[in-house]
């Protein structure tokens, strides 16, 4: 059934699709919606500009990552993306120690925060770009200290902004509710992204038997 | 890492945990949060009582399913659960034909509906019960007819209330946003369920090294 399924969902293109991100979650999501792609992580340093909004930040960083790779390729559609976690108007990055991860999770416990994910599509040949973003509110239940410590001990929070993964087993039992696209929290707003990529490919005349 | 992980999350009990549901999604969710259990699907016919609320219906059906199995066991904690999909005050069941599935998806397209999931815990020996529910709003983007037909052709919608699975690849790209627990839509509100089961087990004195 899985074979049959992919025949119907895959976006087929006449040019390569290149993901400018080293996030294994984003690769997994592109695979999930049946896209054939390669990975070339951008070397762009993720710097938040505190004079512009969170939305402008994720859109700008997504575009910078995509353009960084576009400048090194001769053809293809480059996908850039950036995610930030914001609580009480401050950005939580990736934790730099287990203690830092524990403090982030204590901050998130029992409260609602917002996850912003931007994405950019850049066509290398025409320089045409498409940029969008999505945001989702995430509400944690009250966490016990022993739950936080057990989670941090697994190592999973260490490479994730805000020190959690919504798709982790712990994420599943920590999160009381979300308001928005689940996949925006994982790392790419799949519903918006799929439609945007399909239209982008069609407008450029790169389609090859899509639905 | 996965091994290490489960050591920390598993709810260990001195009595068996039995899932009174044949839903492969519910089995998968219990596995995901590290619970050891067996499956004994209840024979209860799922009948909606139109004189009571949607919430009362999913709670009553969850309890009936758990009690049905409890009556046939000598010990253990029985987990019953029921999910309904409601749009414009009417319940969408499992589709009985491909045409029916197509009509359901056309009805959901571009609109918000509500998914109600109840769950019940019954301890066979003490007859103690715990019942709760959760509800999540799901908003579909506008779907194209060819997307709907492609999805129905995969066969996946046929065993699912409302003719879709949020965890399906198509579900991921059809759903614009949700408001509530993602797992309530999959078939069991994991955050509420995990806390409820942990407390239920502790209160009955069945704990064996839980977090």
Contact in structure between A117 and A58 (CB atoms under 8 Å): yes
Contact in structure between A130 and A121 (CB atoms under 8 Å): yes
Which residues, in sequence order, are CB contacts of B28 under 8 Å at separation 6+?
none
**Per the CB < 8 Å rule, is A34 touching B172?**
no
Closest Cα in chain B, distance from residue A168 (Å): 9
3-state DSSP assignment of residue A12: coil
Dihedral angle sign, alpha carbons of residues B84, B85, B90, B95: negative
Taking the CB of residue B37, how many other CB atoms lie within 10 A of it?
18
Work out the average pLDDT over B81-99: 95
pLDDT string in tens for chain A (211-residue length) = 333 344 445 688 899 999 999 999 999 999 988 899 999 999 888 789 999 999 999 999 999 999 999 999 999 999 999 999 999 999 999 999 999 999 999 999 999 999 999 999 999 999 999 999 999 999 999 999 999 998 999 999 998 999 999 988 788 899 999 999 999 999 999 999 999 999 999 999 998 865 5
**Which among A146, A174, A191 is the nearest to B173, CB-wise?**
A191
Q: Three-state SS string across chain B, please?
A: CHHHHHHHHCCCECCCEEECCCCHHHHHHHHHCCCCCEECCCCCCCCCCCCCCHHHHHHHHHHHHHHHHHCCCCCCEEEEEEEEEEECCEEECCCCCHHHHHHHHHHHCCCEEEEEEEEEEEECCCCCEEEEEEEEEEEECCCCHHHHHHHHHCCHHHHCHHHCCCCCHHHHHHEEEEEECHHHHHCCCHHHHHHHHHHHHHHCCCECCCC
- pLDDT for the residue numbered A68: 96
Q: What domains are there in chain A, each with its CATH number?
A: 17-204 (3.90.950.10)
- pLDDT for the residue numbered B5: 42
Please identify among residues 178-197 of chain A the ones whose CB lies closer than 8 Å to any CB of chain B: 178-183, 190-192, 194-195
Closest Cα in chain B, distance from residue A210 (Å): 10
Backbone angles phi, psi at B34, to 5 degrees: 75, 30
CA–CA dist B116, B129 (Å, integer): 20
Query: Any chain B CB within 8 A of the CB of A175?
Result: yes
- pLDDT for the residue numbered A34: 84
Alpha carbon B206 to its chain centroid, in Å, reads 24
pTM of the model: 0.89
pLDDT exceeds cutoff 90 at B38: yes
Backbone angles phi, psi at B192, to 5 degrees: -65, -40
H or E element in which residue A112 lies:
strand A112-123
Alpha carbon A148 to its chain centroid, in Å, reads 24
Name the more confident of B128 and B170.
B128
For residue B4, the chain A residue with the least C-alpha distance is A154
**Which among B153, B175, B180 is the nearest to A191, CB-wise?**
B175
Name the more confident of B33 and B182.
B182
Segment B154-186, tens digit of pLDDT: 899 998 999 999 988 788 899 999 999 999 999
DSSP string, A149-183: HHHHHTSGGGGSGGG--TTSHHHHHHEEEEEE-HH
- The pLDDT-based confidence of B209 (bands split at 50, 70, 90) is low
pLDDT exceeds cutoff 60 at B124: yes
pLDDT exceeds cutoff 70 at B103: yes
The phi-psi region of residue A119 (left if phi > 0; otherwise alpha if psi is between -120 and 50; otherwise beta) is beta
Q: Which positions of B are catalytic?
A: 82
């Amino acid at each position: 059934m899985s074979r049959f399924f992919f025949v119907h969902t895959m976006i087929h293109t006449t040019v390569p699709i290149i993901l400018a991100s080293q996030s294994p979650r984003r690769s997994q999501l592109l695979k999930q919606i049946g896209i054939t792609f390669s990975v070339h992580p951008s070397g762009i340093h993720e710097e938040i500009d505190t004079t512009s909004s969170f939305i402008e930040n994720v859109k700008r960083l997504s575009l910078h990552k995509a353009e960084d790779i576009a400048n090194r390729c001769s053809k293809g559609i480059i996908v850039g993306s950036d995610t930030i976690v914001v609580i009480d108007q401050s950005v939580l990055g990736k934790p730099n120690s287990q203690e830092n991860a524990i403090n982030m999770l204590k901050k998130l416990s029992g409260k609602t925060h917002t996850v912003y994910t931007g994405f950019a599509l850049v066509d290398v040949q025409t320089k045409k770009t498409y940029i969008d973003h999505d945001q989702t509110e995430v509400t944690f239940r009250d966490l016990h200290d022993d739950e936080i410590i057990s989670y941090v001990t697994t190592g999973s929070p260490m490479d994730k902004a805000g020190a959690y993964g919504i798709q982790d087993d712990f994420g599943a039992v920590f999160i009381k509710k979300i308001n928005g696209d689940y996949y925006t929290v994982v790392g790419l707003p799949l519903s918006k992204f799929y439609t945007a990529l399909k239209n982008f490919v069609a407008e450029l005349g790169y389609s090859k038997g899509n639905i």
